[in-house]
Chains A and B, each alone.
Chain A
């Protein structure tokens, strides 16, 4: 379990990092290293070069800009969890991050790294999709903004171009009647979930007006369940009906800890859990 040889470049600014990356297709960006370094050591990945962006200044800033809260790519999960602005304006993210691995990993792992890596079992990609977040990408041609729901293309596959680096994520602030409610079912605390759900709810006179259901750990990317959400708005929770609907719009992929059948069941009951949380 020793990484194969690679060269290492410590970028001082984002322009240098982009330049390096655009010149070398085999180079990989290193931020917190919590997914990349184990993959290197297990020789699942053998990049020519690691472009270390962790020393670039100001890429970890968390700030409010108009109707958005902007999280710099290098903010670690711990930075985000301990940030006053997040506690005030996006408190649900604090609860979500508590479920991301363990303290030692959260101290190194970065927000941007998790969003860019796009692990279908991870919380943050689904969160970004559910929040209608905007993903800021910087490349040779300048800056590009992609909606999170268009960013994830397939299994560990994103819209990130080979010369681009993810620099920040912009989350629209939730209004008075808007809520992001989340739940997941894990074998152990801190594990990737067997199934998880991010629900963005808009209420009107205590009734659900709009609902987005975004699942993680269910398929090859954050799975949006549009039709099922409509059923919930119209008719509330009906296990059999919702299960049938979910089965028709998500291609559930089983893993070591839960079969596709198990994931479908959990995805269904997660809706009930979310609705119960909404009532509270």
Chain B
């Protein structure tokens, strides 16, 4: 299992030493726990006196509650009580999903339960508290509501029309946020262009579909004035602040525990009304309250994402050099901006990231974000990337075709050269340590495009449409305080690690980074063991508990390895220094003649060493044996944050080959290739899993996933049978390789790797499909690219 070794970072030392774990594909220990069913998820938790809640949710996208009668429900068997907005509001202050750093955002106050007007199908309006969930659901059926349905603003494209339904009358119209980026002079540059190409792309809403649905157990202890929240979220310290602020509890007395979490994808990093209501009820009643979203609730209340319509224009000179790019993006986010990260970020990233791999001297981008009566939309894995990459790469393909050069040639002609960093995106965001040229070269070697071109021709003769695509992209990872903190959000961009040697010789590590199934715990352990010189099995890790870990941001935006990992590295190095100082004192020798290998302090020139257990026993139990003045500190803590730039970018090149059945419109992905440059890979196998899993989620967006709504704003496919996620049969061979450019921002040199697959796959698949369809002069411009859309494009139906 550990035969893949790729540590190419001189700052980390050679791989030929004992305990060199960074860069090795070691199996992760917690995978075994989960295979054995030994994980502990929120729903596994049973506390004494615990009650369960179920929510009555709006059946309409837009309606007014004329009256609500919960009296019969209160008498339903097993029911403790039934609350509507006013009972909850007493215990939970409202929130507003706006931030200050991105220009004016307008979103009204939101409360856990809607009081009078409901604005999306699934918005909670009443909550039953009962002995178990089934009894709570029984009672929901006898709550009487007198509804007056209102016209719904479902379509984002008409949301700003004069006759649109204004969802929040106090705002005057449905505009949430807008931003314009203008670099250079696009109009002038388009005039000077040899060729100008245009396209407009549509992206359907989809959602994260985590294996474990959202859940919370809130436990208010009145005597201590303390609330403990067991929560399957991604950012415990952010939630600590949120709970303290809105439930009016001393922040120091809010404990958030997020241990095993079954997938998150950005879905679980937001504040949800039902979870806030559950916490408020616990405070009101002084009893533990459990809420677990069922799958239907997940589909209608977990945040959705994407939902963009974007038009773009690209101008090139005679040789294919890009002179100008212009995009105009519209997105619909449901009736509220999500709290606390806001629903502006996806569009903001579309504007930031479009054209990012290329030198584009003139760039204009306009983003418009509107309200609509659908489930709220917010950040989901690869925020904004699929839209930015798809519009850029579609335009680049069109330009190549128009002036008659190869798809890869036009890209190579326009890349920011690998030796020209630091640099900037066309929108002006700083870029460092990227390798588009080397990554594309590697990709082309893997793909053999000449061979694919030949297959294309021979397959066409047989009636099969074959096509391929190649794309390049930048991936946002390791955000700095300039992402959220600067705008006023209490979201830490710093992460901490604390590591100690215990009396038994064991190492305990705690980190503010969290684990949701991606293997965070494993890489933290690898870094600690590698840097300390101890075996993997001597390190124990604690994550996801605000009472037990250092303060920090948690896991989102691919920040675990690059930020949290660096903190672990620094803490481990400090602890090692302390260990060597003590050992030098005990062994009465020069510290520089000592090292730690295999849990033992060794003399580099031979001779007997002492084990870490012996050392720890001396310090902890027989401290009198130490020379006077020896520092007995076997605990070290370190922090890390990215300074000065908004993000540490990663880059990726991807290719795929597809074939289309002209009779059925079914697209088969024959093969998929990805080259990722995420700097140091701490565990290459886990990086590969991130890329492959991401690609598969991207295949979902490209070909399958869509939250289907009818004209009245009712979601039509809120089940796992009807909402199509790719499954084993839909997963192609995915070949992953790497270019390694270490980040200069840290010793460890790691950048994030979690976004690229999801961000790039939709673009390369769409390009490959259009490469195939172009043989017949056809194209598709709307994702997911369903068989019906293909057949329509082909004129078959």
- Residues of chain A whose beta carbon lies under 8 Å from any beta carbon of chain B: 1-5, 42-43, 102, 185, 187-192, 194, 256-259, 261-262, 265-266, 269, 272-273
Interchain CA distance A256-B787 in the complex, whole Å: 12
Given contacts A102-B727, A256-B722, A272-B663, 9 further A-B pairs with CB under 8 A are: A1-B296, A4-B141, A185-B666, A187-B724, A188-B724, A188-B730, A257-B724, A266-B664, A269-B664
Instruction: Give the A-binding residues of B (Cβ under 8 A).
Output: 132-134, 137-138, 141, 294-296, 663-664, 666, 704, 708, 716-717, 719, 721-722, 724, 726-727, 729-730, 786-788, 791, 796-797
A269–B708 CB distance below 8 A = no
Q: Which residues of A contact B132 (CB under 8 A)?
A: 2
- Name the residue among A5, A189, A257, A273 with the largest chain B CB count within 10 angstroms: A257
A5 CA to B137 CA, complexed, in Å: 11
Return the 3 tightest CB-CB contacts between A and B, nearest first: A189-B729, A2-B134, A1-B294
Q: A259 to B792: give the CA distance in the assembly, Å.
A: 11
Knowing A3-B134, A4-B138, the reply to whether A188 touches B787 (Cβ < 8 A) is: no
Q: Are A262 and B788 in contact (CB under 8 A)?
A: yes
Q: Quick one: given A2-B137, A5-B138, are A259 and B788 in contact (CB under 8 Å)? A: yes
A272 neighbours in B (Cβ, 8 Å): 663
The reply to whether B708 and A256 form a contact with Cβ atoms under 8 Å apart is yes
Contact of A191 among B295, B663, B724 (CB under 8 A): B724
Give the residues in chain B near A256, CB-CB below 8 Å. 708, 716-717, 722
**Contacting A187 at CB < 8 Å: which of B134, B138, B704, B796?**
B704
* Interchain CB contact under 8 A, A43 and B137: yes
Of the candidates A4, A42, A191, A257, the one whose C-beta lies within 8 Å of that of B786 is A257
Interface of B is mostly: loop
Separation in Å of the A242 CB from the closest CB of chain B?
13
CA distance A191 to B719 in the complex (A): 13
Question: Could you write out 19 A-B pairs with CB less than 8 Å apart?
Answer: A1-B295, A2-B132, A2-B134, A2-B137, A4-B141, A102-B727, A188-B724, A188-B726, A189-B727, A189-B730, A190-B729, A191-B724, A257-B788, A258-B787, A259-B797, A262-B787, A265-B791, A266-B664, A273-B663
Query: Which residues does chain A contribute within 8 Å of B134, judged by CB atoms?
Result: 2-5
CB A268 to nearest CB in B, in angstroms, measures 9
Question: A272 to B786, alpha carbons, bound, how many Å?
Answer: 22
Most buried by B among A3, A187, A190: A187
A2-B137 Cα distance, complex, nearest whole Å = 7
CB-CB nearest in chain A for B662: A269
- C-alpha gap A259/B791 in the complex (Å): 12
Q: How far is the CA of A251 from the CA of B141 in the complex (A)?
A: 36
Alpha-carbon distance between A4 and B135 when the two chains are bound, in angstroms: 8
CB distance from B535 to the nearest CB of A (A): 39
CA distance A145 to B796 in the complex (A): 43
B797 touches A262 (CB 8 A): yes
The reply to whether A258 and B788 form a contact with Cβ atoms under 8 Å apart is: yes
Take A42-B296, A188-B704 as given contacts and tell me if A261 and B797 are in contact as well, using a CB distance cutoff of 8 Å: yes
Residues of A within 8 A of B787 (CB): 185, 187, 194, 258, 262
- Give complex CA distance A4, B140 in Å: 11
Q: Which residues of A contact B797 (CB under 8 A)?
A: 259, 261-262, 265
**Least Cβ distance of A86 to chain B in Å?**
23
> How far apart are the CA atoms of A185 and B790 in the complex, in Å?
14
Bound-state CA distance A5–B141 (Å) is 13
B704: chain A residues at CB < 8 Å are 187-188
Taking a contact as CB atoms under 8 Å apart, the answer to whether A269 and B294 are in contact is no
Distance to closest chain A CB from B759 (angstroms) = 23
Chain B residues closer than 8 Å to A1, beta-carbon distance: 137, 294-296
Min Cβ gap B436→A in Å is 34
Question: Chain A contacts of B796 at CB under 8 A?
Answer: 265
Find chain B residues with CB under 8 A from A5 CB.
134, 138
**A188 and B138 contacting across the interface, CB-CB below 8 Å:** no
- On chain A, the residues within 8 Å of B666 by CB distance are 185
A185 to chain B: closest residue by CB: B664
B788 neighbours in A (Cβ, 8 Å): 257-259, 262
Taking a contact as CB atoms under 8 Å apart, the answer to whether A188 and B664 are in contact is: no
Contacts of B727 on A, CB cut-off 8 Å? Answer: 102, 188-190
Nearest B residue to A273 via CB reads B663
Q: How far is the CA of A1 from the CA of B298 in the complex (A)?
A: 11
Interchain nearest-CB distance for B419 vs A (Å): 45
Q: A265 — which chain B residues lie within 8 A by C-beta?
A: 791, 796-797
Tell me which residues across on chain A come within 8 A of B294, comparing CB atoms: 1
Contacts of A269 in B (CB 8 A): 663-664
Bound-state CA distance A191–B726 (Å) is 11
Residue of B nearest to A272 (CB): B663
Residues of A close to B708: CB separation below 8 A: 256
| Residue of A with least CB distance to B77 | A5
CA distance A120 to B356 in the complex (A): 50
The chain B residue sitting closest to A194, CB to CB, is B787
Which residues from B are CB-within-8-Å of A261? 797
**Could you say which residues of chain A place their CB within 8 Å of the CB of B133?**
2
Residues of A within 8 A of B722 (CB): 256
Q: B708 to chain A: closest CB distance in Å?
A: 6
Question: Nearest chain A CB to B43's CB is how many angstroms away?
Answer: 13
Q: Considering the chains assembled together, what is the distance between the CA atoms of A192 and B717 in angstroms?
A: 14
Residues of chain B lying within 8 A (CB to CB) of residue A42? 296, 719
Alpha-carbon separation in the docked complex, A77 to B133 (Å): 33
Closest to B132 in A: A2
Task: Determine the chain B residues whose CB is within 8 A of the CB of A192 once the complex forms.
Answer: 721
- Give B727's nearest chain A residue, CB to CB: A188
Shortest Cβ distance from residue A276 to the other chain B in the assembled complex, whole angstroms? 11
Residues of chain B within 8 A of A258, CB atoms compared: 787-788
Residues on B with beta carbons closer than 8 Å to the beta carbon of A190: 727, 729
A3 to B138, CA, bound (A): 9
Least CB distance from B501 to A in Å reads 47
With the chains together, A186 CA to B444 CA distance in Å? 33
Complex Cα distance A265/B708, Å? 23
Chain A, Cβ-Cβ closest to B296: A1
B138: chain A residues within 8 A (beta carbon): 4-5
- CB B295 to nearest CB in A, in angstroms, measures 7
Residues of A within 8 A of B730 (CB): 188-189
Contacts of A259 in B (CB 8 A): 788, 797
Contacts of A188 in B (CB 8 A): 704, 724, 726-727, 729-730
Give Cα distance in the complex from A52 to B787, angstroms.
41
How long is the Cα–Cα vector from A269 to B294 in the complex, in angstroms?
A: 40
Min distance, Cβ B12 to any Cβ of chain A, angstroms: 43
Complex Cα gap A43–B797 (Å)? 37
Contacts of A189 in B (CB 8 A): 727, 729-730
Q: When chains A and B are docked, how far (Å) is the Cα of A257 from the Cα of B724?
A: 10
Looking across the interface, which residue of chain B has its beta carbon closest to that of A255?
B722
Chain B residues with CB under 8 Å of A194's CB are 787
Q: List B contacts of A191 (CB < 8 A).
A: 724
What residues on B are CB-neighbors of A185 within 8 Å? 664, 666, 787
Task: Give the docked Cα–Cα distance between A102 and B726 (Å).
Answer: 14
CA distance A43 to B788 in the complex (A): 32
What is the CA–CA distance of A256 and B295 in the complex, to the nearest angstrom? 19
- Minimum CB–CB distance from A43 to chain B (whole Å) comes to 7
Task: Tell me the bound Cα distance from A222 to B724 in angstroms.
Answer: 24
Q: Closest approach, in angstroms, between the C-beta of A198 and any C-beta of chain B?
A: 18
Nearest A residue (CB) for B135: A2
From residue B138, how far is it (CB to closest CB) to chain A in Å? 6
A257 to B705, CA, bound (A): 11
Taking the closest CB of chain A, its distance from the CB of B455, in whole angstroms, is: 22
Q: Are B791 and A262 interface neighbours, CB within 8 A?
A: yes
B786: chain A residues within 8 A (beta carbon):
187, 257
- Complex: A194 Cα to B661 Cα, angstroms: 15
A191 to chain B, nearest CB (A): 7
